[in-house]
Chains A and B, each alone.
Chain A
Amino acid sequence: MSNPILEVQGLSTTFHRGGVTLPALRDVSFNVGKGEVLGLVGESGSGKSVTLRSVLGLARRYGEVTGQVRWQGQDLTGLSEREMRHIRGREIAMIFQEPMTSLNPLLTVGRQLTETLKAHTDLNRRARKDRAIEMLDLVGIPAAASRLSDYPHQFSGGMRQRVMIAIALAVGPQLLLADEPTTALDVTIQAQILDLILKLSQDMDMGVILVTHDLGVVAQTCDRVAVMYAGRIVEQGAVRQVLKGPRHPYTVGLMQSVPEGVAPRTQLYSVPGTPPSLAALPQGCAFAPRCAFVSAACAAKRPELESVGEGRELACFHPVEALDGVASKAGAHPASSPHMTEESAA
């Protein structure tokens, strides 16, 4: 983390839809180091994907983006569309959730692989083909050379995601944005794909931002994690520390929602309430209406994201203090967990 390749400072994205202003992203700041894996977690609509799209300069087509995205010292938000095209795909690549639709069904896998190489490198036809085979081989597709002429529908979901990864990494980007890359795959395949991403990131010394709503995935793969809620980062830090001792009540709630070690036939825990509408965010802390620790201060003023030591940042007036046992205790009594956390905090 000494030398971040990506520094995001105060990134805000606002969409305007039919007279309604939607602050999809507010004041988001984080860093990604070389070869580091950052997890971005949160509920649907919390701004995870918008963050990725804003970093790549795709969100500005549809909304207003302010703040800084410093990529290896250069501010990407100031670049023209043409300049951004040289960054996208070549230096920062992205893969998507739906491997079934993220490949063009009419072009062979080989054509789609060589297309990126053609767009971003000076390799000749033969070298492109060799590189394509090498990449398919690297992502673990058997008989790679013979599969270049196959069409996407001839691959299974997991294999297609491998192809997507091969395409994304063919040019050798230094940062991979992975937007829930395993959500649409079944569990056994999920682990394989995550292992693959992790291994490639280590081999290529490539940073990864992994968007997911699965804390298990975060625990397995990420170095650091940022928890998002209603367009803001509410807590971030090293995975080990955050997952061991979550301090934001929302992080605590998320962790309790992971059905682990729960006795059969007990009700699963879920954070009470639903996320607020972006069009009508509360004035204070966006999580306040759902929070067990809410006070008058929370509704009046929004807590800022501040450093709490050890490289951790937190945006909460009433951080959960018990650094161990919260999640496991709550897991044992899932139905009454909000009270449990309060007790363990006391």
Chain B
Amino acid sequence: MSEVTVNSTPNAPKRMTRARLALAKPGFLLGCVIIGISTLLALFPQVFAPYDPNFIDYLAVRQPPSWAHPFGTDSLGRDAFSRVIHAYSVNMQMAVLATVFALVIGVVVGALVGYYRGIADMIFGRVVDAVITFPFLVLVIAVVAVLGPGLINMYIAITMVGWVYYARLMRAEVIAQMGNDYAAAGLVMGYSDRRIIFRHLLPNAITPVVIYWMTDMALAILLGSSLGYLGLGAQPPQAEWGVLIAEGRNFITTAWWLSLMPGIAIVLTGLGFSLIGDGLADLLRPRG
């Protein structure tokens, strides 16, 4: 991800210095390390988790943290540590799947309405106003309520609401880029609209969208686990951080670690994405 954007910066010879610059930023570096480890955990949870996350052991119910069970066990005797690790698969998947469709739809729609303006743009403006008036979570819950709970429906709901934010950002940036003569130059060279929009305007306009995407992935994890907690997202017995927190909720006074550990996992990955977004904003900001 970061490599792609660095490659698309205007100056090839400066790439090295930019890469070095990136490493010199402790926040950005920390973000990359956190997300790197999170991705590994998400891809190969069975390598890192000592137990099957759904293995029920009635002989070891609600145990406090120990060497055998670092995060203790839940009311069914499942290893809490293994469940948090396996939840990385679902939650990291959320970060990607809940945002990537919104990103693609938003970028395309935003670029098109920004380029053509006119009636489509006016309608788009109304849609944006309507969606942004509602709190994000309320709208998503409403859509999930209609479609029914579950991961797939949650992705659909978040995409239906989330693309608006990408499109709005993209539209503004495309309009700003069209102030540059290279867009007009493309027209007088006889290039098609499609070529001008997707080959010339889009790559120049996408930086803020990419930065927002990082933040949005953090938000998606938060939103996904909120919905899981409310019973609208991932369904038990699936190991998912929101579900885990909800399961530990009943024992918060006696076994608080059951809810705390998945909470820390949420905070950590959220922090990782935010740090990367912050670092990218610094790195990709046009400099004189």
Q: Decide: A106 near B10, CB < 8 A? Known: A93-B189, A96-B185, A120-B190.
A: yes
Q: Are B204 and A105 in contact (CB under 8 A)?
A: yes
Complex A-B, nearest 9 residue pairs according to Cβ-Cβ distance, in ascending order: A89-B190, A102-B181, A88-B190, A89-B189, A101-B180, A94-B188, A85-B190, A96-B181, A104-B182
- Interface on A for B, CB 8 Å cutoff? 56, 58, 84-90, 93-94, 96-98, 101-107, 115-116, 119-120, 149, 151-154, 164, 167-168, 177
Q: Are B182 and A101 in contact (CB under 8 A)?
A: yes
Given contacts A93-B189, A106-B203, A107-B200, 5 further A-B contacts (CB under 8 A): A56-B188, A96-B181, A101-B182, A103-B185, A106-B10
- Residues of B within 8 Å of A104, CB to CB, are 182, 200, 204
The answer, yes or no, to whether B19 is at the interface (CB within 8 Å) is: no
Question: Interface size (B, Cβ < 8 Å)?
Answer: 20
The answer, yes or no, to whether B191 is at the interface (CB within 8 Å) is: yes
State A39–B270 Cα separation when bound (angstroms).
61
Q: Using CB atoms, name the residue of chain B closest to A92.
A: B188
Q: Mark B51-82, 1 if CB is under 8 A from A, else 0.
A: 00000000000000000000000000000000
Among A56, A58, A104, A106, find the residue whose CB has the most chain B CB atoms closer than 10 A.
A104
Picked from A56, A85, A103, the residue with its CB within 8 Å of the CB of B182 is A103
State the Cβ distance, B167 to closest chain A Cβ, in Å: 21
- Residues of A within 8 Å of B181, CB to CB, are 96-98, 101-102
State A89–B185 Cα separation when bound (angstroms).
9
The answer, yes or no, to whether B133 is at the interface (CB within 8 Å) is: no
Q: Are B8 and A88 in contact (CB under 8 A)?
A: no
Q: Using CB atoms, name the residue of chain A closest to B116.
A: A61
Q: Are B190 and A119 in contact (CB under 8 A)?
A: yes
Query: Using a CB-CB cutoff of 8 Å, which residues 159-182 of chain B contact chain A?
Result: 179-182
State A39–B199 Cα separation when bound (angstroms).
34
Q: Using CB atoms, name the residue of chain A closest to B9.
A: A106
- Residues of A within 8 Å of B200, CB to CB, are 104, 107
Q: Are B182 and A90 in contact (CB under 8 A)?
A: no
Q: Decide: A151 near B191, CB < 8 A? Known: A98-B181, A101-B180, A102-B182.
A: no
Q: Using CB atoms, name the residue of chain A closest to B179.
A: A101
Picked from B8, B184, B191, B192, the residue with its CB within 8 Å of the CB of A96 is B184
Q: Decide: A85 near B191, CB < 8 A? Known: A104-B182, A153-B10.
A: yes
- Residues of A within 8 Å of B191, CB to CB, are 85, 89, 115, 119
Q: Are B10 and A119 in contact (CB under 8 A)?
A: no
Q: Are B188 and A88 in contact (CB under 8 A)?
A: yes
- Residues of A within 8 Å of B184, CB to CB, are 58, 96, 102
State A115–B189 Cα separation when bound (angstroms).
9
State A177–B185 Cα separation when bound (angstroms).
12
State A132–B277 Cα separation when bound (angstroms).
39
The answer, yes or no, to whether B16 is at the interface (CB within 8 Å) is: no
State the Cβ distance, A65 to closest chain B Cβ, in Å: 15
Q: Decide: A106 near B189, CB < 8 A? Known: A96-B181, A96-B184, A101-B180.
A: no
The answer, yes or no, to whether B12 is at the interface (CB within 8 Å) is: yes
State A91–B184 Cα separation when bound (angstroms).
17
Among A102, A103, A177, find the residue whose CB has the most chain B CB atoms closer than 10 A.
A102
Q: Are A153 and B188 in contact (CB under 8 A)?
A: no
State A58–B187 Cα separation when bound (angstroms).
8
- Residues of B within 8 Å of A96, CB to CB, are 181, 184-185
- Residues of A within 8 Å of B11, CB to CB, are 151, 153-154
State the Cβ distance, B116 to closest chain A Cβ, in Å: 9
State A167–B182 Cα separation when bound (angstroms).
12
Picked from A85, A94, A105, A167, the residue with its CB within 8 Å of the CB of B10 is A105
State A85–B190 Cα separation when bound (angstroms).
4
State A217–B223 Cα separation when bound (angstroms).
63
